[in-house]
Amino acid sequence: MLAPDSFGTIAGLLAEPLELAGLLDEIPIPLVVIDPDRLVLFANSAFGLLTGCERDDLRGVPCRDVLRVNVCLDKCPALKAGECNAPVSLEGDIINRARAKIPVRLTAGRLLDACGRVAGYVETVEESRAAQRSGEGLREMDGLGNVVGMSTRMKELFRLIPVVAQADSSVLLTGETGTGKDVLAEMIHNASDRAEGAFVKINCGALPETLLESELFGHKKGAFTGAASDKLGRLRMAHNGTLYLTEIGDLPLPLQVKLLTFLDDKIVYPLGDTVGFRTDVRVVAATHRNLEQMVKDGEFRQDLLFRLNVVRLHIPPLREREGDISLLLDHFRTLYSSRFGKPIRGFSNHARQLLLSYAYPGNVRELRNIVEYAASICQSESITIEHLPRYLLDNDWQSGAGKSDESTPTESTGVRENATHGVASVGSSWAAVERQLILDALSRAHGRRGKAAELLGWARTTLWRKMKQHGL
């Protein structure tokens, strides 16, 4: 018979001085602790992000009601782990709060009390390798469905998305290049009542005006030279679904008028046709440009802006998302180490410090590409400074990205791979850190500049220039 106070047993365990709850919270893999009745006792941050649920709301809720996994009813891994006295892994599809289906592997193991009795279970929820390869479960960020973030601004955005999705109003997504506007647009579609319909995307800046009009509105056979057959057009293809207009700021003025007309009456008039077709489409638009300034400059119609700007969601740049860089580094490191089949367990102190100091003008897309590159060439268990793109080792990016020379290293991160050498203090400026790096490399290379440049991953000319810059 199970201990009657299993709940209290585990709760007491999580309250130990070792701060087990805090330790579990640092694990990047979604993890949940449940009692023998399979009620949630604790969920780490990664679990809350994956499911889109507030962790405080999960306590005491049946695990199956949170995950909504198709194998929970008849093949519960926790129960099977209890029956066979060993960890059990099963694959299935979870449905998160944004109604996105994510293929996962669930692994459950027993928690025993001091007397060896089952006091509960621990379950991890990992996206399956097959899903990662196919891209079905790939998350560009991680958080609500497909987006990762623990910063205050991202959490606010996560709370808004399910609400916005249920409305049928036009949505305007703004944010710098690489912040994840495309991912957010698809999330809105998947969480809406239009999820069963098509999600149709078109880049307004990728085609010349004549072709763009045909792509959007379609055309009649013979409408122009080369029109050998009727063309449906993206607006009609998106009937009962969502049309996503990325780079809306690049839409030519004549097409802005035609799009405005469509938004008013929901009727599509193909090129060369006098007969209109009524179409039920939700429009989501995105841009990295300042549309208000474009209106002032006569480059964008104010009335169209009013039509598109019913609901505006702004994705903050990565440099304004406190704490998210570290989270994303670990997320993509896990993703690409698994994809490449490599046992990469983390970053060296020096590499992590450099990556945390960088301003990421290309935002999440750039960070992802950096980690993918590093993971692809890494042949060890840790990504070090030598695995990073060389441009990161040149401090010229600091001024270009609006980064100050007073970027302060975070606590407990060193500035070299060899801890036997001196370490810059937490309050050191980036210039001081870089100067110390050079001195350390020269010391390790016994004064040989060519070898020192190699240790730093720099060209000899770069090392020479930086030595002059730092008075060495």
Residue 319 three-state SS: helix
Q: Which pLDDT belongs to residue 422?
A: 35
Output the CA torsion 386→390→391→395 (10° steps): 60
Residues with pLDDT less than 50, the chain = 1-3, 17-18, 129-146, 396-429
Q: Quick one: pLDDT at residue 157?
A: 87
Check residue 158 and give its pLDDT: 83
Those residues with Cβ within 8 angstroms of residue 267's Cβ, 6 or more apart along the chain or in another chain: 276, 277, 278, 279
The per-residue pLDDT for 207 is 83
DSSP string, 92-149: EEEE-TT--EEEEEEEEEEEE-TTS-EEEEEEEEEE-HHHHHHTSS--SS-EETTEE-
> What domains can be seen in the chain, in order of their start residue?
6-128 (3.30.450.20), 143-314 (3.40.50.300), 331-403 (1.10.8.60), 418-472 (1.10.10.60)
Q: Which amino acid is at 270?
A: P
CA 217 to chain CA mean position, Å: 33
